[in-house]
Structure 1
Amino acid sequence: MSDIFVPAARVLPLPPLTLHILVADGQLLCRGDSFLHAKPLLPAAMVESSHYLGELRGEACGVHQIATPADVEGCEWRSLRSLLGRVDDLHFALAGRALQVVDWDINHRFCGRCGRGTEYHPRDRARVCRDCNLAVYPRISPCVIMLVTRGDECLLARHTRHPRGIHTALAGFIEPGENAEQALAREVREEVGLEVGKSRYIGSQSWPFPGQLMLGYHTEWTGGALVPDREEIAEAGWFHYSALPEIPPPQTLSGQLIRLFAKRASGEKRC
């Protein structure tokens, strides 16, 4: 059977699990690059909560939240980022789903409105306050990530939080009342002082750091002088498709946007 993941339509009651993911302090228990285990590996007394995620290859898969990382022979606790490029997209997304569910469960055990304890919804992935009826679902933050293009060149930036030399596409969160295209134009203007026009949607990616949904675009430069804001952008510049600096790996949406632009630009030159 091929690797197909079917998300849980109903999260309770918890079914018997045959695939187990263990999470503690934002890390995954791994044997090599594998975070899926045929057994829970740790005593039930160490498990603070368990959640049904869905079925992988027809097997029930769930995540167990462990209070603190514990030593398991032959295994090590690893960050999700360490698996980027080491596992395929399906398994990376599953690991991200597990971490996001645990993060939601830990952070919403008490109501953000009245402070009372919350309980699990009987069907949905939600925690509900029985006193004020506030329901809290796992948080997903929509973002835009856009590669600004100018003929054979694309705009790449190095962020202040990334001291290494990787250059990437611009990105930012969508604000209340905005659609994706409005957010795209605003972020480009704020981060590098440029104006953009025609935009083409390329694709999306779940980015669980901690819970973003990235919407990817190619967008065309229409004017303005390049002025990085220096708070978020350490440096930015125009790069010809044939002379790109170090860019994010192809498993990232940013890397995909850049590589797709370069492929299309080089293909047009050969025609």
Structure 2
Amino acid sequence: MVDRFEPAVNVWAVPEFSQQIIVAQGLVLCRGDQFIHEVDLLQAEAVVSSHYLGKLSGRSCGVHVLSGQQDIRGHEWRNLRSLLTSTEEHLFALAGRALQVAYWDRDHRFCGRCGSATQYHSIDRARTCPNCQLTVYPRISPCVIMLVTHGEQCLLARHANRRNITYTALAGFIEPGESAEQALRREVREEVGLEVGKLQYVDSQPWPFPGQLMLGYLAEWQGGELCPDPNEIEEAQWFHYQSLPAIPPVQTLSGQLIHTFSEQVVARVRP
């Protein structure tokens, strides 16, 4: 049976957690690759806050937030990114949800407008200022991620200030007042100096680093010479679909875009 997650409808109607995720300082407590714990491993006084997330396979699931990492025998604290390739997509998304809720609760305990201490909203997952009534929900930043294509080639880049040597698709944040398509064309122009024409929406993916929603596209090259912005891009090259470098895993939207492009080219050239 595949685990099914149902988000909480009323986030404050908190049942006793049957399953819990434990986070501290941006890390997740794991036993091997398992981060959903059947039993509560913590003393109540160690928990800064707890949040009901919903039901996993019909059983209540929540997150406990600690002020610091505690040593628990047989367990280790892991970066969420390290679980990406070893965890099913919907469970990885659940871990990301837990961390994003923890970040929101930590970062908005005081009002950004007047400085007063905030309180939990009576209905929504939000914090409200009792002084000026500013209400802050968990922040989600929309982004576009796009694979520029040209015939049987696709454009892959290594981003500046990244430690790994993986080539990936271009990406960027959507600015106020922009559509996703406008942001895509602007980002491609700014990062590599190219113009793109036909766009094909492929899929979306929550990306909890720290709180993005990625919208993925294939974008056909229309004109321009490759001219990477050195402040953003360390290296960018056209690669034939049969001669790709090290790329992100298929669990990522970038990996899915590259695989989708390769499959489409194969379908076109197949006799």
TM-score of the superposition, structure 1-length normalised?
0.98
TM-superposed CA distance for 1:163, in Å, is 3.4
Moved more, 155-164 or 241-250: 155-164
Rounded to whole Å, the distance in 1 between the matches of 2:128 and 2:57 is 32
Report the secondary structure of 1:183's partner residue: helix
Letter matched to residue 160 of structure 2: T
String of CA shifts for 1:20-79, please: whole Å, max 9, x gaps.
Answer: 111001001111101111122010000000000000000000000011100111111111
- Name the residue aligned to 1:193: 193
Report the secondary structure of 1:37's partner residue: coil
Rounded to whole Å, the distance in 1 between the matches of 2:260 and 2:200 is 12
- Name the residue aligned to 2:49: 49
Letter matched to residue 186 of structure 2: R
Letter matched to residue 205 of structure 2: Q
Rounded to whole Å, the distance in 2 between the matches of 1:162 and 1:23 is 25
- Name the residue aligned to 2:121: 121
Rounded to whole Å, the distance in 2 between the matches of 1:120 and 1:46 is 21
Taking the TM superposition and a 5 Å limit, the aligned residue runs for 1:111-260 are 111-260=111-260
Unmatched tracts of structure 2, length 5 or more: none
Report the secondary structure of 2:228's partner residue: coil
Identity within the alignment, %: 62
Rounded to whole Å, the distance in 1 between the matches of 2:133 and 2:99 is 26
TM-superposed CA distance for 1:2, in Å, is 3.4
- Does residue 76 of the first structure (1) align with residue 76 of the second (2)? yes
Rounded to whole Å, the distance in 1 between the matches of 2:2 and 2:237 is 43
Letter matched to residue 265 of structure 2: A
- The count of corresponding residues between Structure 1 and Structure 2 is 271
Report the secondary structure of 2:119's partner residue: strand
TM-score of the superposition, structure 2-length normalised?
0.98
Unmatched tracts of structure 1, length 5 or more: none
Letter matched to residue 176 of structure 1: P
- Does residue 37 of the first structure (1) align with residue 37 of the second (2)? yes
Report the secondary structure of 1:258's partner residue: helix
Rounded to whole Å, the distance in 2 between the matches of 1:111 and 1:104 is 12
Rounded to whole Å, the distance in 2 between the matches of 1:196 and 1:20 is 45
* Aligned-residue CA RMSD (Å): 0.8
Rounded to whole Å, the distance in 1 between the matches of 2:165 and 2:140 is 29
Rounded to whole Å, the distance in 1 between the matches of 2:187 and 2:249 is 23
Rounded to whole Å, the distance in 2 between the matches of 1:119 and 1:112 is 13
Letter matched to residue 232 of structure 2: E
Report the secondary structure of 1:259's partner residue: helix
